[in-house]
Amino acid sequence: MNQRHPNLNNIISANTNFSYMLLINTKVTVGNVYIYRECIGYDIFIIMICFISHFAKKHGNIAPG
């Protein structure tokens, strides 16, 4: 099996677990800290989407653009 690239399922699973932890953390925070955590979570989500899209493009699964 080719081990050059990380397992995409593991990446998605780790991201889901991390997002769940962020969600729990935001429930117990208020005000600016809550907004700050939300922004971080959103940024991480966007970065993961970009990473997955880039990963898929290398294999020709997603059309460029």
Give per-residue pLDDT as tens, 6-50. Answer: 566 565 566 666 666 655 555 555 555 655 666 666 777 777 777
pLDDT at site 60? 56
Q: Is the pLDDT of residue 61 over 60?
A: no
pLDDT at site 46? 76
CA distances from 26 to 31, 32, 38, 46, 47 (A): 10, 11, 7, 18, 20
What Rg value do the Cα atoms of the chain yield, rounded? 15
**Can you tell me the distance from the alpha carbon of 65 to that of 6, in angstroms, rounded to the nearest whole number?**
24
Q: Is the pLDDT of residue 53 over 60?
A: yes
Q: Is the pLDDT of residue 51 over 70?
A: yes
30 HSE (CA, 13 A, CB side)? 0
Taking Cα atoms as reference points, which of 23, 16, 18, 17 lies closest to residue 37?
23
Q: Is the pTM of this model over 0.95?
A: no
